[in-house]
Amino acid sequence: MTVDHDHQPGWIGEALAEHDEIEAEGRRQLPLADREQQVLDRIDRARRRRPKVREERITMSHGAGGKATHTLIEAVFLDAFRNPLLEPLEDAAQLAVGGARIALTTDSYVVSPLFFPGGDIGDLAVNGTVNDLSVCGATPLYLSAGFILEEGFPVADLQRIVESMRNAAAAAGVHVVTGDTKVVQKGKADGCYINTAGVGLIERDVSLGVAQAQPGDAIIVSGPIGDHGITIMLARGELDIEADICSDTAPLNGLVAGLLGAVPGTRAMRDATRGGVATILNEIAKAADVGVLVSEDQIPVRAEVRGASELLGIDPMYVACEGRLVAVVPGADADQAVAALRGHPLGEHAAVIGHVREEQPGIVQLKTAFGGTRIVDLLVGDPLPRIC
């Protein structure tokens, strides 16, 4: 029995129609390099098209922080809610209320397992939101906390989670000032989910955003990458690998204040959560329409994280951190920025990993430790669901 494919399943037919639209001219007659370039240009045009969700249902990829997440956000949420405050898609929205500049953000936490080396869902929920505010240049002030609890969840576990939220809030100097509790039937959730929202005050005269990156700028990470993601993966116990690493979950407001104090001209900061440093580099390249070139051997990665990543075939560049930021600063300020970061305990391994350039706008390139070059694209698929 054979299925005739003249009549393609819907999504393939659609994709082919789009292809015909883009492929305007023939390309066989050109010399090889030009033909390849033509294809690359065509792909570039295809990538700049308005994103469209092709799937009929939500899959795990839509939550992975990679391409599918971006497509979902742009095609569904941004499309519906579009406004100038949302549009920059920064970690927090920056708004003016009665003369004051405020940053507002929200984040939900579904990490599994709830408790892991170095932290738990509680401090993650506080630190994550504190960090989203901090990297926008705001001083985090107040948080909300919403809990979705599964019937049967141990109260002792909840108390433990709340206790660590309290400690994290105290460490970051913020207060949880409002909240909400919902309980769902057994099997309708997995133990405990938390949502936190936060507001912060933007006191400095800064206007941060990845779109401000300019050729010549330096790109800095504040410390070794991938600790959180690998810790969670190993904590699940599905792989018989043991390593002495723990999550890097930490509030970044102190570190950010130090950096902005030393380098007021900082162009942008992002905290490298889902999708890792690679995702942020792509966001920079896309938002500012610039090229990004980073060097693999400059990127700090702990030996344990590197080892586990090699074994699992994962690239640490895509693995989540919960206490690391990526900063873009003018090239001339790079040394000062690194010195400022290194002056803080959370930034002692800060390093310049690359720079912004004019060539190849929209594309992130990596000089490999081996000495070759390759692209670092947005991640597709889901190496690690429910990481935060």
Partner 1 sequence: MRFVDEFRDADKAHALAAKIAALCEPGRQYKLMEVCGGHTHTIYKHGLEDYLPESVTLVHGPGCPVCVIPMGRVDDAIHLASQPDVIMTSFGDMMRVPGSGGSFFDANAEGTNIRMVYSPLDSLKIAKQNPDKQVVFMAIGFETTAPSTAMTMLRAAAQGLTNFSVFCNHVTIIPAIKAILDSPDLRLDGFIGPGHVSTVIGCRPYEFIARDYGKPVVVAGFEPLDILQSIYMLMVQLSQGRSEIENQYSRVVPWDGNVVALKAIGETMELRPYFEWRGLGFISHSALQVREKYAAMDAERLFQVPGVRVADPKACQCGEVLKGVLKPWECKVFGTACTPETPIGTCMVSPEGACAAYYNFGRMNRTRVAEAEVARS
Nearer to partner 1 by Cβ, of 150 and 377: the residue is 377
Give Cα 373 to chain centroid, integer Å: 23
Nearest residue (CB) to partner 1, 74 versus 141: 74
Q: Is the Cβ of residue 37 or residue 207 nearer to partner 1 in the bound state?
A: 37
Give residues 227-286 in contact with partner 1 (rule: CB under 8 A). Answer: 238-239
Q: If you search the block for the tokens 């660590």, which residue do you land on?
A: 164
Cα first-last separation, the chain:
47
Contact of 280 with 354, CB cutoff 8 Å = no
30 is an interface residue for partner 1 by CB under 8 A: no
C-beta separation of 130 from 251 below 8 A: yes
4 binds partner 1 per the rule CB under 8 A: yes
Contact 283, 270 (CB under 8 A): yes
**Quick one: which H or E segment has residue 109?**
strand 100-109
Question: Which residues, in sequence order, are bridge partners of residue 115?
Answer: 120
With CB under 8 A as the contact rule, which of the stretches 4-12, 139-147, 152-160, 191-199 interacts with partner 1? Answer: 4-12
The 10 Å Cβ neighbour count of residue 189 is 17
Contact status: 362 vs partner 1 (CB under 8 A):
no
332 in contact with partner 1 (CB under 8 A): no
Q: Report 364-383 residues binding partner 1 (CB under 8 A).
A: 365-375, 377, 380-381, 383
Residue 96 touches partner 1, criterion: CB under 8 A: no
Decide if 383 contacts 61 (C-beta within 8 A): no
How many residues bind partner 1, per CB under 8 A?
61
Element (H, E) at 170: helix 155-172
Check binding of 177 to partner 1 (CB under 8 A).
no
Tell me 210's DSSP state: G
359 binds partner 1 (CB under 8 A): yes
| Contact in structure between 201 and 138 (CB atoms under 8 Å) | yes
* The only residue of 30, 36, 97, 216 in contact with partner 1, by rule CB under 8 A: 36
| DSSP tag of 111 | -
Return the number of the residue (12 or 332) whose C-beta is nearest partner 1: 12
Q: Which residues bind partner 1 (CB under 8 A)?
A: 1-6, 8-9, 11-12, 15-16, 18-19, 22-23, 33, 35-37, 39-40, 42-43, 46, 54-61, 67-68, 71, 238-239, 303, 306-307, 310, 313, 359-360, 363, 365-375, 377, 380-381, 383
